[in-house]
């Protein structure tokens, strides 16, 4: 902090005498001793974004950002799709990103929070407490060929026709596959949808 902030750090403690300075350092040491190496490193890295030196509570907050499961889940619901589309994504903590990867983008996008709450919270806390947790990896930037990411309308109409024939032939779909039927019906009606999602629905219905 002395190298990073210079006189700004010294000014924070300018009114302390030698004894008080030692007591202050001891107090910081006790409080920071409860943090893991990974948490301390996270706080150290976060200092690069701050123009002024933090107080002890502020520094602990940098080391252990608030990871409320519901708030973190909302962040994953926003940032995950941005990453999948190749857009810039911002994660407030790497544990949120890795929990998103662990639970699965498809599950997070298509299932309600209540059904994933226990699984999501467990993954989030496990990664948050991992001292060796890697940072969020850089996005892989790739330019897909024209028409390679979104299902073309003609193909969507063909899928919908196949789906109707199969439904009549095999009888009503069970509850476990209705999500796939709904996705293909949306695609057939002209709603733009990624090829990956459509392929997953096709496999669930035995069309692929």
The string of pLDDT tens digits covering residues 120-135 is: 999 998 888 777 788 8
Please give the mean pLDDT across all residues of the chain. 78
At residue 165, the pLDDT reads 42
State the alpha helices, DSSP H only, in the chain: 2-5, 7-12, 18-32, 37-46, 56-63, 69-84, 94-103, 105-110, 113-128, 153-170, 178-188, 195-205
Asked if 94 and 127 count as a contact pair (C-beta separation under 8 A), the reply is: yes
Q: At which of 15, 34, 63 does a domain end? A: 63
165-185 pLDDT tens trace? 444 334 444 555 677 777 777
In a domain, 139, yes or no: no
Total domains in the chain come to 3
**Do 53 and 21 belong together in one domain?**
yes
**Do 17 and 56 belong together in one domain?**
yes
In a domain, 143, yes or no: no
Which structural domain range is residue 51 located in? 2-63
In a domain, 79, yes or no: yes
In a domain, 28, yes or no: yes
Enumerate the β-bridge partners of residue 150.
194
- Note the Cα 6 to chain centre separation in Å: 35
In a domain, 135, yes or no: no
At residue 118, the pLDDT reads 94
Asked if 111 and 179 count as a contact pair (C-beta separation under 8 A), the reply is: no
């Amino acid at each position: 902090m002395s190298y990073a902030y210079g006189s700004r750090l010294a000014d924070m403690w300018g009114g302390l005498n030698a004894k008080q300075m030692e007591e202050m350092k001891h107090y910081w040491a006790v409080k920071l001793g409860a943090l893991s190496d990974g948490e301390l490193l996270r706080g150290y890295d976060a200092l690069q974004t701050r123009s002024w030196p933090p107080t002890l509570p502020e520094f602990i907050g940098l080391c252990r950002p608030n990871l409320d499961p519901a708030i973190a889940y909302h962040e994953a619901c926003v940032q995950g799709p941005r990453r999948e589309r190749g857009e810039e994504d911002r994660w407030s903590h790497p544990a949120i990103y890795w929990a998103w990867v662990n639970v699965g983008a498809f599950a997070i996008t298509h299932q309600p929070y209540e059904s994933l709450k226990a699984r999501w919270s467990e993954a989030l806390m496990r990664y948050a407490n991992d001292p060796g947790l890697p940072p969020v990896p850089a996005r892989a930037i790739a330019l897909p060929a024209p028409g390679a990411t979104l299902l073309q309308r003609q193909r969507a109409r063909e899928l919908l026709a196949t789906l109707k024939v199969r439904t009549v032939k095999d009888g009503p779909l069970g509850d476990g596959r209705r999500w796939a039927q709904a996705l293909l019906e949306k695609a057939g009606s002209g709603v733009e949808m990624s090829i990956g999602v459509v392929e997953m629905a096709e496999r669930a219905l035995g069309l692929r």
